[in-house]
Amino acid sequence: MLPQAFSEIDFLAKDQIKTDEESLKYWGKDWTTYFDIKASAILFPRTADDVVKTVKWARKNKIALVPSGGRTGLSGSAVATQGEVVVSFDQMNKIKDFSPVDQSVVIEPGVVTEALQEFAHKQGLFYPVDFAATGSSQMGGNISTNAGGIKVVRYGLTRDWVIGLKVVTGTGELLELNNGLVKNATGYDLRHLFIGAEGTLGFIVEATIKLAPAPPPMKVLVMAVPGLDSVMKIFAEFKTKTSLVAFEMFSDKALAKVLENTGLAAPLETQSPFYVLAEVETRNEQDEEHALGVFEKCLEESWVTDGVISQSEVQAATFWRYREDISESLAKYSPYKNDIAVTISKVPNFMADLDKILASAYPTWEVVWFGHIGDGNLHINILRPPGMSKEEFVKECRKVDVMVFDAVKKNQGSISAEHGVGLTKKSFLNYTRSEAEIGFMRGIKKVFDPDNIMNPGKVI
């Protein structure tokens, strides 16, 4: 960055700017580990007006800006690799307003997901978007990647809870989008354009979030499943006959890693190639009977060979660990992660395709599967073979990517179900979006960010 441009930042206080090496490394990256970090400065706006002035300053000086939230992203969308100036929302983390009548809350983008969940809980309400990184991810980042997670079957995605958005565009304009309205049929809904845009059109400076009623009691079932086809049958049965909140699948390899890493006892005595975790709402005894009835039917049909249902909240939480501790248990193997989706009905064929590809191309590699089957989202983790260098491993995985994404394309799926495109998936975007679509996306980018200063080089 030019020192001259830097001297023009008179709209921020000194403690709103960091340029020391440690800070540049810390705020210049997300959870991805494959990029060389090169940030020029970290700015910490405290108000929407600070952001407007920052963007106008950047525009005047042709300086690229990278937005930074909780830095838990897995696609490199919040990574500075080209000497960009990072705009951190760490100091815009207030819950500004709450309306019990509207059951909505006005927040700054730096509010941590868990803080919003806890605030909602205190009001007798519920913020239902839930995933592993809620303790540090920020709402601005969640909105910018349309975060999903484990309760999508019942509660949908982040998009479904955003009823208002204030953004600063790449032209430095502050837009107030939708103002928390439920019904508003007045032309293009720009709010939905900014949700999932990964900061490439503008930065989110405020959001109005709808809250859900407090959830009823839940039961968690863990079941041993002999085959993939059965997984889908079990899902259909639970989806139709219970109020299903989550439906997760993991392989025996995934479970083995969790047991090894956590010291937890196995959930079931029966060994099985696949396991399924189902969470269902149990408002009353009748609901619980329904859930047990579905489980019994699954046993009778031999779709499951064994199973257990939680008897307490503590036990339910333990059952969830078999699924939620997978990522952490794999961390020491530096897994190469993929996050892909197809429609639910295509999951069995798609997984069979992938299994063949991976087994034939890399028969000795260890591949760990888990996924949100209830919404067609699979996470594939390839573990680094002992002795292989990180560089060689990544290079080989990129070859796998092409084969995996070919299968995604064949099944009309998504190369990024919930992590976003960022830098990691950018060159594969055309496996999910057509060239014509990408062309229109570029056109839209130019409308909101004519100087290409808002997170340039990401997504498209």
Residues 366-425 that bind its own copies (CB under 8 A): 372, 375-377, 412-421, 425
Question: Exactly one of 42, 78, 255, 459 binds its own copies (CB under 8 A); which one?
Answer: 459
Residue 382's beta-bridge partner residues?
336, 367
Applying CB under 8 A, among 187, 363, 386, 387 the residue interacting with its own copies is 187
Token digits of residue 11: 């709209």
Q: What is the number of residues in the chain?
A: 460
Cβ neighbours of residue 335 closer than 8 Å, sequence gap 6 or more: 368, 381, 382, 383, 384
**Which of 186/360 has CB closer to its own copies?**
186
Which string of b and e fits 171-185 if b means at least 16 CB within 10 Å?
Answer: bbebbebbebeeeee
Start-to-end CA distance of the chain, whole Å, equals 24
Our finding on whether 116 is near its own copies (CB under 8 A) is no
Query: Cβ 15 to its own copies, closest distance in Å?
Result: 31
Alpha-carbon span 116 to 118, nearest angstrom: 5
User: 104: closest CA among 127, 128, 86?
Assistant: 127
Q: Which of residues 71-110 bind its own copies (CB under 8 A)?
A: 99-104
Check binding of 117 to its own copies (CB under 8 A): no
Q: Out of 122, 182, 265, 389, which residue is the one contacting its own copies (CB under 8 A)?
A: 182
Q: In this complex, which beta carbon is closest to its own copies, that of residue 177 or of residue 453?
A: 177
Residue 152 lies near its own copies (rule: CB under 8 A): yes
Nearest to its own copies of 201, 268 (CB atom): 201
Q: Which of 28, 69, 70, 148 binds its own copies (CB under 8 A)?
A: 148
Closest residue by Cα to residue 95 from 125, 124, 115:
115
Residue 378, amino acid: L
Say whether residue 353 binds its own copies (CB under 8 A): no
Binding mask 286-325 for its own copies (x = CB under 8 A): x---------------------------------------
In this structure, are residues 369 and 250 in contact, taking their beta carbons and an 8 Å threshold? yes
| Binding positions for its own copies, 204-223, rule CB under 8 A | 213
CB of 343 to its own copies, least distance (A): 5
Number of neighbours of residue 160 by Cβ within 10 angstroms? 15
Q: Which two tokens stand for residue 86?
A: 């990072």
180 binds its own copies (CB under 8 A): yes
Q: Is 179 in the site for its own copies (CB under 8 A)?
A: yes
Out of 8, 20, 173, 406, name the contact with its own copies by CB under 8 A: 173
441 binds its own copies per the rule CB under 8 A = yes
329 CB neighbour count, 10 Å cutoff: 20
Please report how close the Cβ of residue 179 comes to its own copies at its closest, in angstroms: 4
Binding mask 329-348 for its own copies (x = CB under 8 A): ------------xxxxx---
What's the rounded Cα separation, in Å, for the pair 288 and 95?
A: 37
How far apart are the C-alpha atoms of 421 and 424, rounded to whole Å?
A: 6
